[in-house]
Homo-oligomer: A and B are copies of this chain.
């Protein structure tokens, strides 16, 4: 029996996690969920912290974690999100954020040119350093002379391992994205690590784009990408952009992996969507596809494939939530996947 810790979180998080758990259950594997439903904004508000050391240990003892979404409008000016999401990513050194993006049905593309709609790529986002490392501070706070600095940190260790990870998941080509022409210190390091990594993987075509050009290229020719590897900040932006080009963030899954320990955190790319939380209309497919990534990661390849086939069937049949042009609520959209399983 393998334990999967589950963090429903806030907003639509609990709703979509419930859908994903129903799918996992229907597969009849030996995975056993251990739900930490107190890790949320309410706990943070009451106790000043939402993820305790005991929670952390419970997660560490499990095989993987499935997370819904974390965040709350009333806590925007606090470190709540960082104290859960970034704490997990940094605490477990989940350096590889893997975000596959695929156009599940032509109908879902926002692009006009039928020949350029196809998108089937993966964003590999460095997940432990860069601008989200948490290194920074301010002098003269709350004065007219306040100067805030957030460090964009890149290490040879961190850059090399994420580049190698990208090559390891690519079949044909990897595109590295940075801004070495303007951001010199990290840019230079990424460029040198990139040349070395490309040399270690001669069978895969290696190309490079600056982040501004990459954002444009995603819109004009998304099909030209297979694996995009980039830093924490650009990966955040490009993965949401790519998701929008594949029909919306409601469908996008992600895995945050530690290549050494094998531990993984699986979560939809979308947030807590406070505007629709509680209305029963959240799209469960991002969470369900994240569960598929989790299954695959733990070796349940056939089950993962079955889930993806079922999702593909439900999408093709239009048995989906309003964000994908359907009329179903969360429960019915989940039932459509379960029926197709």
A interface with B by C-beta (< 8 Å) = 71, 76-77, 79, 81-82, 86, 109-113, 116, 131-132, 134-138, 140, 142-157, 179-189, 191-192, 211-213, 215-216, 219-220, 233-234, 236-237, 239-241, 243-245, 248-249, 271
Contacts and interface: CB of A to CB of B under 8 A. Distances in A.
A109 B219 CA distance: 11
A184 B79 CA distance: 8
A240 B82 CA distance: 29
A219 B249 CA distance: 12
A131 B136 CA distance: 13
B249 A216 contact: yes
A85 to B, nearest CB: 8
B182 A81 contact: yes
B82 A149 contact: no
Contacts of A132: 182-183
14 contacts: A76-B180, A76-B191, A110-B111, A132-B183, A148-B153, A149-B151, A149-B153, A151-B152, A152-B152, A182-B236, A213-B240, A215-B237, A220-B248, A233-B233
B155 A86 contact: no
Given A136-B186, A144-B156, 17 more contacts: A71-B181, A132-B182, A132-B183, A135-B149, A136-B184, A146-B155, A147-B155, A149-B152, A150-B184, A151-B152, A183-B233, A211-B237, A213-B271, A215-B240, A216-B249, A219-B219, A233-B233
Given A179-B233, A189-B146, A245-B219, A131 B110 contact: no
A110 B219 contact: yes
A148 to B, nearest CB: 4
B216 A215 contact: no
A76 B244 contact: no
A243 to B, nearest CB: 7
Contacts of A237: 211-212, 215, 234, 237
A151 to B, nearest CB: 5
Contact of A112 (B82, B109, B192): B109
A147 B121 CA distance: 30
A82 B180 contact: no
Contacts of A243: 216
